[in-house]
């Protein structure tokens, strides 16, 4: 009977906290910003990458000394998507000023050395600090390499040597990752952003309803109501968790929409977030939301002031970013123990799901179980803190 009553009180507290925070315009904007920024950033970056691919396919090659190597220039003209033009007077200055992405310089002694079968010099002028022109420069280098190989083979055939003799190795690359996995690698940001959304979404309520409530002096009147402390804490925790889950749903839905409009085919990857994916994503992240909301509430309750709580949250923000950041430095696989680590487990699950290789049911269960267990422990700790006079009256 008392349990039913406490549960009802938990729901009453939860409803009030949600209503209260929905009216907090500034907090809503900051949540919306952190939820939207991720997918939008990814969309922007993907568009840039696709643009660059397209640019590289259509490469403009200014050549200085265009008359000195008519055969090479003709060959370049015959290749797909090239446009050979007369080069600028000062090639290096033109590249430095970013007027040209790349300039080919053919020195005067090119023809002389070429006909006597000595390495003929060709200068590729480029600026390696410019990321945006790198594909174009790469394309020009590859073209020159290809031309060199073709001429080399011809020369050997003329001398009665098989071109195969100078290729002792035949390197074959076998790519085993699926297209979706490659997509997930490029889109490692999406799991990170989903996790950050879950983290940020609950932060406002977790701090405002604990440290904020105490600082405004409304905690004491609240605690005069005949309800167990656990009901107050659970209600606040539940409200923060629901807000976190809502943010996750929002980010996921937005990412799903964006992947539909992104020029992913142009980059050669396929990525799709279907309704079934969304289900799996939520299975991976919802338990994490319960955990992060509980963690935030505990830390905010321990903080001496609202401001202090907020600065702790800033530091804590690194936690959901950590697995994503580390994985870009050390490619982490999916070892079974990882599922049992809070935050890391959901991250590994997410990369699996978004990469088109969802882990087994047991992985989901282990990850959810650990998150829930830690969340319940943290709620208990917070409840204990709420019984402490030093915490309640720390104003």
Q: Return residues touching another protein (CB under 8 A).
A: 5, 8-9, 12-13, 16, 19-20, 23-24, 216-228, 389, 392
Shortest distance, CB of residue 222 to another protein, whole angstroms? 7
Nearest distance in Å: CB 393, another protein:
8
126 SS3 class = strand
Roughly what angle, to the nearest 10 degrees, separates helices 189-207 and 318-329? 160
Smaller CB separation from another protein, 199 or 386:
386
Which one, 2 or 78, has the nearer CB to another protein? 2
**In sequence order, which residues have a C-beta less than 8 Å from that of residue 340 and are 6 or more positions away?**
366, 367, 370
For residues 65 and 121, the answer to whether their CB atoms sit within 8 Å is no
| Backbone torsions φ then ψ of 85, nearest 5 degrees | -130, 165
Is 36 or 222 the residue whose CB approaches another protein more closely?
Answer: 222
Report which of 330, 346, 190, 323 is spatially closest to residue 269, judged by C-alpha positions.
190
Q: Which is nearer to another protein, 10 or 188 (CB)?
A: 10
Minimum CB distance to another protein, residue 241 (Å): 20
In angstroms, give the least distance from the CB of 223 to another protein: 5
In the complex, the smallest distance separating the C-beta of residue 229 from another protein, rounded to whole angstroms, is: 10
Cβ contact 291:375 at 8 Å: yes
Question: Considering the complex, what minimum distance in angstroms separates the CB of residue 218 from another protein?
Answer: 3
**CB-based contacts of 304, cutoff 8 Å, min separation 6:** 394
Nearer to another protein, 341 or 392 (CB): 392
| 103 sits in which H/E element | strand 102-105
Cβ proximity to another protein: between 24 and 51 the closer is 24
Map 214-266 to HEC letters: HHCCCHHHHHCCCCCHHHHHHHHHHHHHHHHHHHHHHHHHHHHHHHHHCCHHH
User: Is-contact 32 216, C-beta < 8 A?
Assistant: no
């Amino acid at each position: 009977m008392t349990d039913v009553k406490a549960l009802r009180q938990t729901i009453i507290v939860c409803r009030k906290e949600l209503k209260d925070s929905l009216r907090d315009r500034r907090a809503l904007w900051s949540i919306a910003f952190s939820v939207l920024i991720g997918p939008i950033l990814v969309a922007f970056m993907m568009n840039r990458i696709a643009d660059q691919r397209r640019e590289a396919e259509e490469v403009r090659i200014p050549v200085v000394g265009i008359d000195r190597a008519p055969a090479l220039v003709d060959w370049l003209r015959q290749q797909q998507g090239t446009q050979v033009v007369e080069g600028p007077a000062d090639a290096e200055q033109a590249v430095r000023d970013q007027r040209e992405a790349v300039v080919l310089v053919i020195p005067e002694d090119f023809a002389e050395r070429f006909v006597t079968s000595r390495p003929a010099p060709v200068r590729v002028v480029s600026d390696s600090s410019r990321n945006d022109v790198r594909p174009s420069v790469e394309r020009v280098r590859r073209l020159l390499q290809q031309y060199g190989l073709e001429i080399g083979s011809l020369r050997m055939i003329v001398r009665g040597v098989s071109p195969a003799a100078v290729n002792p190795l035949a390197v074959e690359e076998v790519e085993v990752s699926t297209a979706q996995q490659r997509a997930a690698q490029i889109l490692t940001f999406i799991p990170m952003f989903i996790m950050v959304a879950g983290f940020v979404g609950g932060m406002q309520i977790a701090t405002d309803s604990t440290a904020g409530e105490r600082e405004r002096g409304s905690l004491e009147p609240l605690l005069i109501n005949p309800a167990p402390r656990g009901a107050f804490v659970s209600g606040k925790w539940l409200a923060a968790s629901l807000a976190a889950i809502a943010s996750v749903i929002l980010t996921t839905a937005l990412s799903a929409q964006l992947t539909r409009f992104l020029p992913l085919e142009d980059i050669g990857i396929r990525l799709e977030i279907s309704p079934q994916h969304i289900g799996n994503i939520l299975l991976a992240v919802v338990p994490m939301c319960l955990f992060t909301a509980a963690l935030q509430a505990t830390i905010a309750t321990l903080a001496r002031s609202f401001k202090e709580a907020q600065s702790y949250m800033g530091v804590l923000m690194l936690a959901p970013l950590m697995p994503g950041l580390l994985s870009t430095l050390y490619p982490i696989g999916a070892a079974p123990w990882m599922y049992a680590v809070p935050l890391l487990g959901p991250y590994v699950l997410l990369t699996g799901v978004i990469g088109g290789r969802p882990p087994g049911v047991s992985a989901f269960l282990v990850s959810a179980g650990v998150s829930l267990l830690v969340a319940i422990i943290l709620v208990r700790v917070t409840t204990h803190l709420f019984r402490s006079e030093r915490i309640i009256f720390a104003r």
